[in-house]
Amino acid sequence: MKLNYFLVPLIFLLLCNCKTKEKEENSSPSTPPIKPNVIVILADDLGYNDVGFNGSKDIKTPNIDQLANNGTIFTNGYVSYAVCGPSRAGLITGRYQGRFGFSRNPLFAPKDSLQGLPTSEETLADALGKSGYQNMAIGKWHLGAHESQRPLKRGFNEFFGFLTGGHKYFPEQWIRQDISEVTSQGDAYNTKLLRNNERVEENEYLTDALSREAVSFVERHAETPFFLYLAYNAPHTPLQATEKYLSRYPDIKDKKRKTYAAMVSAVDDGVGNLLNKLKELNIENNTIVFFLSDNGGPEQHGANNGELREGKGSLHEGGIRVPFAVQWTGTIPAGKVYNNPVISLDIFATAVALAGISPKNEVDGTNLIPYLKGQDKSVPHKHLFWRHFDAEAFSIRQGDIKLVKDKKGDIGLYNLANDISETNSIDNDSLRLDLKNKHDQWNSTNIDPVFLGLKHNKMYNQEHPNRFVNGEKY
């Protein structure tokens, strides 16, 4: 067979073209991964031992337990502060809140732009919004009531809930039409709920209403990446529950404990409704779901922290170690228990890493996914730190060793591996000094509180006599 020499140049060009095309295809960037949806479910004042996955016997939490068992349980899961407001500020920014002076529970002061999260701070909603996420905050805000600090000004596209640190649960008690009718700090618990910036009429028990709105948001945004911050105020006081939930606990005789249990049960129902909706919409595998409490439980109000020492407000384990779990079906192995210390600040770091975002500010959290998948065998944190400014209390955890100066001024050094209840202080002066020096070095990066807090309500009123005069209409 003779080769047609007129075809040689054509064949050569075709071969070159194929090689060039192959090279271009091989060098082209791979298709970016689908950005996962992010859901943070935050309970309020939930005791460490008040969920089934941490051993609760009297309170039933089948749906929360399902979330935990579908993913990873953190046995050493912490928050960055022992009370609500600062803890939430740390979670939503991924930064120790002392870095920006949020070391107190903010007052409800809608005229004061300093009473809340500084505008210098980037929220998780701000960050994810840069990557096309639709974001909604539901429930308790507690990061400032001034117009500049409200959810729609802090990266959220939608909001349903209330601005203050707590709220009554029965709609018939929501007698304040807007902020202009509020006359005191506690009176803010009586306001009607907000949908974005408008007051709305609501007829459902508060926890049920918040759960309903969460399911609705997921339904409306199932086709786009979303971030849902579902911040329940239950089981925070006032202890109020409907008969639907109270009737589930006929054997609990203590009235506080029974009502508290009923309030936790309402949260559990909401978690179940949300998880079922993810399955129904076939987006469960593309949604990472965190569950935790904002601080330890106040046992005087019905909570149970189990073996942990003390509770809400304390830097002992009962105030800062919380129920904490994460589910990401198909990515995070199910049925796992993770024992290395993690902290709520890690939620921000994990979410922005998954979304491929560089945060505005330096964050203190760690992307947990490599650790949970077994890709990184080291520990997420060599040290964790806490500071309670007004109590002059501090704590640091290094491995299993924890140094704590409590609000009474007592200093203890504990090995949490064999003394989870912090009962036997270790006699080791050199280790104490070393940990104290490390805490001092960390604390040098913090600033003093930038606003008066909840415990300074009387002082604040004296300094701001027009706090509730001619209040805003919303």
Catalytically annotated residues? 84, 142
Tokens 């203190």 — which residue? Answer: 364
How far is 265 from 50, CA to CA, in rounded Å? 10
How far is 351 from 197, CA to CA, in rounded Å? 27
Q: Which of 202, 245, 234, 188 is nearest to 43 (CA)?
A: 234
Question: Which tokens in the block code for residue 375?
Answer: 């890709």
How far is 11 from 19, CA to CA, in rounded Å? 12
Question: For 105, which DSSP code?
Answer: P
Distance of CA 81 to the CA centre of its chain: 12
Question: For 453, which DSSP code?
Answer: B
Side chain identity at 346, as an amino acid letter? D
Question: Burial, 450: exposed, middle or buried (Cβ in 10 Å; 0-12, 13-18, 19+)?
Answer: middle
| Strand 72-74 versus strand 37-43 pairing type | unpaired
Side chain identity at 223, as an amino acid letter? E
Q: Which of 327, 321, 261 is nearest to 291 (CA)?
A: 327
Q: Which of 313, 270, 240, 304 is nearest to 84 (CA)?
A: 313
Counting Cα atoms < 13 Å in the Cβ hemisphere of 403 gives 20
Distance between terminal CA atoms of the chain? 90
Tokens 């520990």 — which residue? Answer: 379
Question: From the CB of residue 54, how many other CB atoms can be counted at a distance below 10 Å?
Answer: 25
Question: For 384, which DSSP code?
Answer: E
How far is 370 from 154, CA to CA, in rounded Å? 29
Give the bridge partners for 291, in sequence order.
41, 325
